Amino acid sequence: MTTSTASRPKIAIVGYGSQGRAHALNLRDSGFDVTVGLRPGGPTEIKAKADGFTVKSPAEAVAGAEIVAVLTPDMVQAQLYRDVIEPNIAQGACLLFAHGFNVHYGQIAPRADLDVVLVAPKGPGALVRREYEIGRGVPSVYAVHQDTSGRAEEFALTYCGGIGGARQNAIKTTFKEETETDLFGEQAVLCGGATKLVQAGWETLVEAGYQPEVAYYECLHELKLIVDLFYEGGVTRMHEFISETAQYGALTRGTYVVDDNTKAQMRKVLTEIQDGTFARQWIAEYASGNANYKKLKQGDLDHPIEAVGKKLRANMKWLDTAPKAQTAAPAAPRGERQEEAA
């Protein structure tokens, strides 16, 4: 592949959801020639055009690019690669992902002539854009799966710099490490673990006769205060700002809930990620129409804590002006992986 310049390769962004839009805007503002690849008449085509981008069909966008960033949902990427990207991507181009799922689990086997890299911001698309606009950047990890040109790492770092990730000391990883740790964090701690912990705490208080509204504040609403402290300065900062009573209770009772059995179950979660059990289950679930996924998700949405929370939040007027999380976020805080299917 002959690049237009060493530092400004032509880039095609395939998908224009939370991450796709943020990456495209940041790259353009960094001086890159960016084309967005979307289905004609798709729901985000108007949005991308309104943002001033040249929008082409995915096949056309891919054909003219030196870096192709695949920012569509995990479960549509394999077919997208087979049907659109592989037949049209230029010889020697760089294929870029924001999550290693499909490459790591063998759903995509990239052509041997391509460089294959990963750049994964550790935050949702809106934050990636917002931090870039104020001169900062969301920390990112990057990896090289296939280095045909000898410049794959250069392309990954160039792209990472273009979206603002290199402003925060980008960390080199592997497709395996990024995929497995990302899935584990989602399942065991950030989404699966946190949701079940909150629901179990709320149920325990309500079943003991306490008001559901008070239980909501104690088990869900105030969690943000602690997470913000974690985010700002880790467990150390939390200890600096909570009362001694809270500290003593946390230190002496936390292991009642998260004990050796909890850690053993976490190891089980990790094992099923490492040996491909989770990937096989999710791929099969998606292929069969997502009936079980939809049932389980509806169970979360129908949990009584949600009705209580909706009522209480209606009176929290400050939420109307607070920065919103990604409404299209997947089972990951980032992801940012729920981009529009191209």
- State the catalytic residues: 99
State the residue for tokens 């299209």: 328
- Residue 218 annotated as lining a ligand binding site: yes
Q: Of how many residues is the chain composed?
A: 342
Strands (E), the chain: 11-14, 34-37, 54-56, 67-70, 94-97, 115-121, 140-146, 171-172
- Residue 17 annotated as lining a ligand binding site: yes
- Residue 182 annotated as lining a ligand binding site: yes
- Residue 222 annotated as lining a ligand binding site: yes
- Residue 19 annotated as lining a ligand binding site: yes
Report in angstroms the alpha-carbon separations of 73 from 25, 188, 242, 267, 335. 19, 21, 40, 27, 9
CA distance 137 to 121: 9
- Residue 148 annotated as lining a ligand binding site: no
Listed residue (6, 335, 322) closest to 138, CA to CA: 335
- Residue 35 annotated as lining a ligand binding site: no
State the residue for tokens 């045909």: 148
- Residue 52 annotated as lining a ligand binding site: no
Number of alpha carbons in the 13 Å side-chain half-sphere of residue 200: 8
- Residue 125 annotated as lining a ligand binding site: yes
Helical axes 277-287 vs 291-301, angle rounded to 10°: 100
Binding residues for substrate: 243
Binding residues for NADP(+): 16-19, 39, 44, 125
